[in-house]
Structure 1
Amino acid sequence: MTSEEVPYTQVKTVLQPFIPALGQAADVILDQEVSAYPVFIVHQAMLSMGIPLIENAAESEWSVNASTLEELVTKQIVQEDKLDVFRQVYKDPRTFLCLLVIADSSADFVFLPR
């Protein structure tokens, strides 16, 4: 396992008990037509983006904020010229949770089965 895989393995383990609640949050975002692209930002530092859902999950340093693709574009996390590519790789939000995992100096999108 590479050092890059460690945070994602840890995140998956820490978030496992919260997957149903995150799925419900995704459903609300979809059903209320807030966005067709819910994104959950998983982070360890203070973050002024999204709506805080989980703080220090399972007594870890990981927290989760609910956001959307539209907010990520507004905050220039996802560049407008990359929107089509993002939409092509984005998985069905009724089946997968889209996570933006921010760890150390990297940030990557991960899709976790619901």
Structure 2
Amino acid sequence: MTDEGKYQQIKEAILPFIPMIGKAADTIIDENVSNYPIFVVSQLDIDLGIPLVKRTEEGSLWSVHASTLEEMSAKRVIQEEKVTRFRDVYKDPRDYVCLFVLSDLGAIFIFLPRD
């Protein structure tokens, strides 16, 4: 399967979780936790963020964890010198969800529309 095919497969697997991720993003923003919610989506066990979905629940192959730019910077997932650049490319969280996807494609940031 091509990388594009794998990306589409990942996207389709994640789509059912977008409404829940959107609500979590709203809570993170509304509670003044962060203006930059990031959701870690992985098939591995990770120690990053707060678990929202475990990969064995609901037959999902993916885990979803709620995190923030601040946590990812503190844990050096995003290098301190790249935080400003990340903020510049970060899309409006009321319209998009920011996903940090760990898969066989590597680690990539994806912005998906909430609608």
- After TM superposition, is the score higher than 0.5? yes
Whole-angstrom distance in 1 between the partners of 2:58 and 2:15: 9
Contact 1:11–1:62 (CA under 8 A) maintained in structure 2: no
Could you tell me how far 1:66 is from its partner in structure 2? 0.3
The match for 1:39 is: 38
SS of structure 2 residue aligned to 1:8: helix
Q: What are the ranges of 5 or more consecutive residues in structure 2 without an aligned counterpart?
A: none
Whole-angstrom distance in 2 between the partners of 1:45 and 1:24: 24
Task: Provide TM-score, normalisation by structure 1.
Answer: 0.91
Fraction of identical pairs, as percent: 52
Paired residue total: 113
Whole-angstrom distance in 2 between the partners of 1:8 and 1:64: 17
Could you tell me how far 1:59 is from its partner in structure 2? 2.0
Whole-angstrom distance in 2 between the partners of 1:9 and 1:51: 26
Q: Which moved more, 1:97-106 or 1:47-56?
A: 97-106
Task: Provide TM-score, normalisation by structure 2.
Answer: 0.90
Whole-angstrom distance in 2 between the partners of 1:54 and 1:42: 9
Could you tell me how far 1:105 is from its partner in structure 2? 6.5
Q: Which moved more, 1:55-64 or 1:82-91?
A: 55-64
The match for 1:64 is: 64
Would you identify which runs of 4 or more consecutive aligned residues in structure 1 move more than 4 Å? Answer: none
Contact 1:99–1:109 (CA under 8 A) maintained in structure 2: yes
The one-letter amino acid of 2:66's match is A
Q: Which moved more, 1:56-65 or 1:70-79?
A: 56-65
Whole-angstrom distance in 1 between the partners of 2:79 and 2:111: 19
Whole-angstrom distance in 2 between the partners of 1:7 and 1:77: 23
Backbone CA RMSD of aligned residues: 1.6
